[in-house]
Amino acid sequence: MPKLKTHKGAAKRFKKTATGKIKRAKAFKRHILTSKDTKRKRQLGGSTLVSDADHAKVSRMIPY
């Protein structure tokens, strides 16, 4: 069985946690920030986990 290649675009966007879950950054904090509430912008700064629906797809792209 050949080794699996890591999808480099996904490797820059996702990180695996110690328990095997996948972390991601939140979207919608790049531009047009004046119309967004301060609380919303602050909460978008953190990170969150990949949803269960996308977990299998993302974990195939970052096998290691």
Average pLDDT over the chain, rounded to an integer: 96
Q: Which residues contact 1 (CB under 8 A, 6 or more apart)?
A: none
Q: Is the pLDDT of residue 42 over 90?
A: yes
The rounded percent of the chain whose pLDDT value lies above 90 is 97
**One-letter amino acid identity for 51?**
S
Quick one: how far is CA 5 from the chain centroid?
19
The CA-atom distances, in angstroms, between 46 and each of 14, 42, 60 are 13, 8, 24
Cα separation of the two ends of the chain: 16
Q: Tell me which H or E stretch contains 25.
A: strand 22-25
Task: Say what the pTM is.
Answer: 0.84
